[in-house]
Amino acid sequence: MNTAVGTPSLPLEARAAKIRVLALDVDGVLTDGRLHFDRDGDAGKSFSVRDGFGLRLLSEAGIRLAIITGRNSGTVRARASELGITLVLEGVKDKAVALRELAHLCGVDLDAVAYLGDDWPDLTALQIAGLAAAPADAEPDVRALCHWVSNRRGGHGAVREFAEILLEWRGQRSALLARYRDGHGRSAG
């Protein structure tokens, strides 16, 4: 079951209604946090197709998607491109600064930006996001700060669960599901 933590001043549905942009960390959120190195020393990552499909659903619902990560990775850029995510901020040292820049770039206030993170480098962004969320296996200090915590682990459906609950809170899930039942939906993620 989805878990609301802390004592948010606004109900989750009210926060969700304001969201226009979702920013995500990568390692530990879109992936399980493990890196796979090939013999040339290049790092690879594993992404969940279901998480990708959840992101496509959010895009269909009018939510802009962004990635904010401390690493630089061709794998991340390739996955972002495949999902149609054009806002990719890499090598970020201060994620709060990046989140503010992203909000400005998208022409929205911070209360219109959701952030999904899992570890200490995400804390500053989570503190200022309009809706802060984390996977089930996020660090305890991160989970304690968030408005919502998934039942699923990073890289194993946490993003998909967040996408569906965000769509539900915004009153958009049923209409999107109906389009897929009727055969008018887009391809998988």
pLDDT of residue 188: 58
What CATH number labels 11-169? 3.40.50.1000
* pLDDT at site 187: 60
Lowest mean pLDDT segment, chosen from 24-33, 54-63, 114-123: 24-33
Write the pLDDT tens digit of every residue in 153-181: 999 999 999 999 999 999 999 999 999 89
Average pLDDT rounded to a whole number, residues 91-99:
97
Share of the chain above pLDDT 70, in %: 93
**21-32 as b/e: b if 16+ CB within 10 A:** bbbbbbbbbbbb
pLDDT, the chain, mean: 90
Q: What DSSP letter does each residue of 123-177 carry, written as one string?
A: HHHHHHSSEEEE-TTS-HHHHHH-SEE-SS-TTTTHHHHHHHHHHHHTT-HHHHH
Letter for the amino acid at 55?
Answer: L
pLDDT of the residue at 6: 42
What angle is formed at CA 65 by the lines to CA 17 and CA 180, rounded to 5 degrees? 75
Q: Quick check: 101 pLDDT over 90?
A: yes
CA distance 25 to 71: 10
Rounded Cα–Cα distance for residues 152 and 109 (Å): 29
How far, in Å, CA of 43 to CA of 152, rounded?
Answer: 24
What is the reported pTM? Answer: 0.89
C-alpha 88 chain-centroid distance: 12
Instruction: Please report, for the chain, the start and end positions of each structural domain, with discontinuous segments joined by +.
Output: 11-169
Overall average pLDDT of the 39-66 stretch = 90
pLDDT of residue 3: 47
Predicted pLDDT at 189: 58
